[in-house]
Structure 1
Amino acid sequence: MILGLTGLLMAINQTFGLKLLGFYPLGNAFLYYLIGIFLAAALLCYPARAADAHRMPWYDWALAAAALGCAGYLGVNGLRMTQEGWEFFAPLEATLVASLTILLVLEGVRRCGGWAIFAVALIFGLYPLYAGHMPGFLWSNPFSLDETIRAHVMGAESIIGVPMQVVANLIIGFVVFGIALTITGGGEFFMNFATALMGRSRGGPAKVAVVSSAFMGSLSGSAVSNILTTGTITIPAMKRSGYSREYSAAVEACSSTGGTLMPPVMGAVAFIMASFLGVSYAEVMVAALLPAILFYLALLLQVDHYAARQGLRGMRPEEIPRLGDTLKQGWPYLLSLAVLIYMLLVMRLESYAPYYATLVLLAISLFRRRQRLNLAKGLDFLYQLAHGIGNLVAVLAGIGMVVGGLSYTGVAGSFSRELLLYAGGSIPLMLAAGAVTSFVLGMGMTVSACYIFLSILLAPALVAAGLDPLGSHLFILYWGMLSYITPPVALAAITAAGVAGASNTRTSLHAVRLGGVLFVLPFLFVLNPSLILQGPLDLILLSALTAITAIWLVAAAMEGYLYRVGTLGWLPRLWLLLTAGLLIYPEWRSDLVGLALLGGAYLWLAGPFRRRSAVKIEGQRTIG
């Protein structure tokens, strides 16, 4: 908690230029101090082994102290490092400190991200050492061990590169806002709000899970924390309403996964994306809005079709709060969100916006007893801050080594050129390769790590092939995100299965089936920039309408149920999938054919011919 408070004060001091006690370090020194503080917090919060889960061994304290000491040395010498070019020639003690820093970063990655990210960070971090022995376009002039160490720690493209700069300048403020909303009761408000909106409809508990996870995911950006926050309420409610354990867990897993894509507070990866693209976070947020709405609309359609086919009802009236009373209790949360969005989209004050929104929320909570920030909540706030930011800093410092290893050797650019050459300019082939690569890497890496890795290797090739830069980066983010619900890892599905007491494997399979529509969406917006709100308004509206129709048809085909028709056989389901495919393709002729097929489907399944057949069959049954 002390480390969390220290890191928060340092971030506020740097963001607002307060110069508290005359302290205002240079950019690189500030990053070193911040890494030291939150890496130390991560080494104290995350155990080195399972046996240490409920105790604090001496070596955790020693490693945390070493992290603070190394960062302190590097921060104090930040100006000298820049002036004397320590990246190329540094004193012996500086190189030794840098070596220890790399070891501490790798240990932090192992604890917070797991062995998969540790292996990736180690292999690509050491790439400059053996680049001279690699074949073809993977070859580069090799670095010595000292040169590699200095480049990673004292250079501007590795540990203190773009990912860490984004954490320091943007993400800390948004994490502060999300935690403040949660500890003052925001989670309860959004759950009640979702229940008031959707609880009465058929399959109400599942729809409440989708909507509440959309609200909470937009504030936390974390699938796992979202499940552990809302899933403990929504999953039991779904089970009481007749949903199986596996289906309940799958609904919550899919719903929570979309939080990474949901504005206004998307996952950390969105801020990193903005920096890589050289655009404001507001532009990324606006571009992600319609894909996020389509994501959750697809889930709502899926669970509605399932509820209709299974004959499931809504929640009991006594379980549903009144909408007016809910809004009356929760207006401070909506006001703070409005302040945040206004400052992001209108004032374009990205660094300041979350702090001011938090200030508004906490100021209002002083006059409301249930929401007031007391000592216990304040300490919990600091612990959650240290725990969450510590995890981000540890993982992104390690991923920074991946970025540095590929950047210093120049292999990243060579890889993109070769991929473009092998694909022969075929956009479908490149998208398929990108989807598979993102999906596979996402199985063992966090979404942020997966995105950063592929934004260096894959995104330039997609852009060079003529695709929209923002759409290409969102495509990579989306496919990395979907690995949370797909076997064999399926981190979100496994977490939700634990809450539901369900089978991990069956929950993952249910999540894949439930999220079948979600696998279509990335191809929609990467091929059609109108769906990321680029282009004339009429084209955006037309594209949104055809996309909504397409995901509705895919949901109907996946669940085997069509509105005003009822249960479907396999042949009509294949017909609907074909129709959806034509609507997905961004061309007006295919849209016309798709609409004609949709009309034909209704004539076939619900028109006069179907009614005459039904009467004839019913008459035969009556006679029999």
Structure 2
Amino acid sequence: MRKLVGYAGLVVGTVAVAMSVYHIYARLTTYAPDQQALLYITLAFSLVLSFLLWPMRKGTTPDRVPWVDLVLAGLSLACIGYMFVNYDYVVNRFPTADSLSRTDMAVGIVATLLVLEATRRTIGAALPIVAIVFLLYAFAGPWLYGWTYHKGLSLEIAIDQTYFTTEGIFGVPMTVAATYVILFIIFGSFLERSGAGEFFMNFANAIAGGARGGPGKVSVVSSSLFGTISGSAVANVMVDGWLTIPMMKKTGFKPEAAAAIEAVASTGGQIMPPIMGAAAFVMAEFQGVSYTKVMIAAVIPALFYYGALFAAIHFNAVRSGLKGLPREELPILGYIIVRQGHLFLPVIVLLALLLFGFTPTYGAIIATAALIAISWLRPATGLGWRACLDGLRDGAVQTVPVAMACASAGIVIGIVLQTGLALRFTAFLIDFTYGSLLLALLITMVAGIVLGMGMPTTPAYIMQAALLVPAIMKLGVEPMAAHMFAFYFSCLSAVTPPVALAVYAAASIGGAGLWGSGVQAVKFAAAGFIVPFFFVYNPALLFQGPWLPILGAVVSGSIGVIALAAALEGYCLRVATWFERALFLVAALLLIDPNLVTSVIGLVVLAVVLLVQKLWVPRSTVAQGAIT
């Protein structure tokens, strides 16, 4: 991204601040333009900032904007301006029934190309390539066969669907970016400016740094908290990892283990309430439910994910005889709370507003205002007018990649809807799996991981929501469980080899091998791969149903993820034999399943293996293993 200074930096900064201010204003007043106009304005801001800040070629960061990018920014404004000049015509016409004029066609084609190019610049080529493939599919239908066949779309209908309706570029994903995501990103930007990131790290060090494997546990605590600021796994790694990974290596963790811990902990920030990744807001919109409902449903799986990681780190550290940080290097918890503890209050305010029924938009705005006021409880953390301007600017800039991803994903959604691909693919998947839910889930899992390798979580999830989730629901899965399943594996692609972006980022900081770090990350993230299958079959893990089964699921599942960590790390009371590890794994799977019978059997199996570990010490396990 370009680092513009002087006049150019002032102009671009002003545009970014104006973008944030407008979106706050639009949610606070009834005088702002309607929803359709808001989407046009969001895309205009996003396109202009994309071309002014992101260079055409990666790796080049000139301090000026070349004329070609100024032309592209001008074309972006012209294409959106055309929609406002002809606003009544655009919103009142019958899509795909009223013919487009030649000018309409030209504007639609240029705007679509601009969206694809801006997306390529901001998040990479994978998503634009996918969108182009779907556009080609729209025209190639008559030459295909089987479930891929359709009558084909004319160029006019394809452009109409893509740019002039609310089911293409300006569809649900873009709506979510314009109404919810930008406000939460602004909140996170202000939170970061207040010094909350430093507080989260100090707080985590104070409560966990002195324990066995303390720096690894610090990474878990700090990364889960930092997810409140950033919904990006890679961003979490780059902010936390420079401190936690060297600390882990200093206390004895191998580089691969340190990188894996930070990558897995940072990836969990997207699934950890109260502020999850942008895909969670899209999920709420697709289902027609409140974000609060999605947030509540995500609580138990997130706790299992981090609980399993925390336990795995502990077992790994104990087995290797690792210690925590020396007491003199640890911050004092009381001192940290007194000096910086007030910075956690805005998060509590936001959570309370969401739970009490406020919309996410008002919740984010009120929490941001509360943050500015609360920051002045101590002058050292007070947000002045310059810091507020920087927060507004950074919030807009960080929104641009999300908005462009949503716009390009909307192109795919529009083609899927117009060609009827979703219905045919659902029927094909059910026939292909012979109605087997487990096989359909495995296909969805692989698809989520593969899609997430080349694009951010949000568009990867949107692709699954369009094609795979309907098939899972057709097989009897509750909507929330089906969508959450796809969401989880879109997130976990960040730690799944061969393309694991969060692992790559962590490995580069720790000087670790990529493949070794990736394999270790899969072990540490095991709960994330297993728990989604269980909440599909029993929604009690998503806080659905009576309270007693939910409570039972939490208790048995919490024990189960600890047993899972023992199985994968090969340690509990002592180093485990392979047979004992197998028993731990069986107990874990039985306990995570929120069923009374399986939970009781799991407890019995766990009690047996713990008794064996307590009373019998094989010679082969006397020597403690090294960390892997």
TM-score normalised by length of structure 1: 0.94
Candidates 17, 37, 48, aligned match of 1:29: 37
Distance 1:10 1:569, change over 3 A: same
Distance 2:542 2:95 in 1: 43
Equivalent residues in 2 for 1:452-471, closer than 5 Å: 452-471=462-481
Q: Does 1:213 align with 2:244?
A: no
Which residue does 1:64 correspond to in 2?
73
Aligned residue identity for 2:90: M
Which residue does 1:575 correspond to in 2?
583
Equivalent residues in 2 for 1:1-400, closer than 5 Å: 1-17=13-29, 19=31, 24-50=32-58, 52-55=60-63, 56-85=65-94, 88-366=98-376, 368-374=378-384, 376-400=386-410
Aligned residue identity for 2:566: A
Distance 2:443 2:377 in 1: 55
Which residue does 2:8 correspond to in 1?
none
Report the Cα offset of residue 584 of structure 1.
3.4
Distance 1:407 1:149 in 2: 14
Larger displacement relative to structure 2 (471-480 or 134-143): 134-143
Report the Cα offset of residue 529 of structure 1.
0.7
Q: Does 1:403 align with 2:409?
A: no
Distance 1:205 1:162 in 2: 41
Report the Cα offset of residue 368 of structure 1.
3.0
Q: Does 1:514 align with 2:527?
A: no
Contact 1:223-1:259 within 8 A present in 2 as well: yes
Which residue does 2:435 correspond to in 1?
425
Contact 2:541-2:594 within 8 A present in 1 as well: no
Distance 2:436 2:177 in 1: 36
> RMSD of the TM alignment (CA)?
1.9
Larger displacement relative to structure 2 (344-353 or 132-141): 132-141
SS at structure 2 position matched to 1:52: coil
Report the Cα offset of residue 375 of structure 1.
5.5
Distance 1:49 1:278 in 2: 39
Contact 1:219-1:264 within 8 A present in 2 as well: no
Distance 2:381 2:230 in 1: 19
Which residue does 2:9 correspond to in 1?
none
Contact 1:167-1:393 within 8 A present in 2 as well: yes
Distance 1:76 1:325 in 2: 59
Report the Cα offset of residue 18 of structure 1.
5.3
Report the Cα offset of residue 189 of structure 1.
0.8
Contact 2:452-2:490 within 8 A present in 1 as well: yes
Larger displacement relative to structure 2 (50-59 or 520-529): 50-59
Report the Cα offset of residue 278 of structure 1.
0.6
SS at structure 2 position matched to 1:352: helix
Larger displacement relative to structure 2 (434-443 or 182-191): 434-443
Structure 1: segments with no counterpart, 5+ residues: 619-624
Aligned residue identity for 1:572: E
Aligned residue identity for 1:58: W
Contact 1:29-1:76 within 8 A present in 2 as well: no
Which residue does 2:461 correspond to in 1?
451
TM-score normalised by length of structure 2: 0.93
Larger displacement relative to structure 2 (184-193 or 507-516): 507-516
Contact 1:3-1:38 within 8 A present in 2 as well: no
Contact 2:255-2:511 within 8 A present in 1 as well: yes
Report the Cα offset of residue 90 of structure 1.
2.7
Distance 1:54 1:499, change over 3 A: farther
Distance 1:194 1:316 in 2: 15
Distance 1:311 1:101 in 2: 60
Deviation digits for residues 151-209 of structure 1, max 9, x if unmatched? 10011101000001111111111111111000110101111111111112111000000
Query: Which 4+ runs in 1 deviate beyond 6 A?
Result: none
Distance 1:80 1:173 in 2: 30
Distance 2:165 2:156 in 1: 13
Aligned residue identity for 2:39: L
Aligned residue identity for 2:34: L
Distance 1:18 1:233 in 2: 46
SS at structure 2 position matched to 1:220: coil
Report the Cα offset of residue 548 of structure 1.
1.5
Larger displacement relative to structure 2 (114-123 or 283-292): 114-123
Distance 1:347 1:179 in 2: 24
Report the Cα offset of residue 254 of structure 1.
0.4
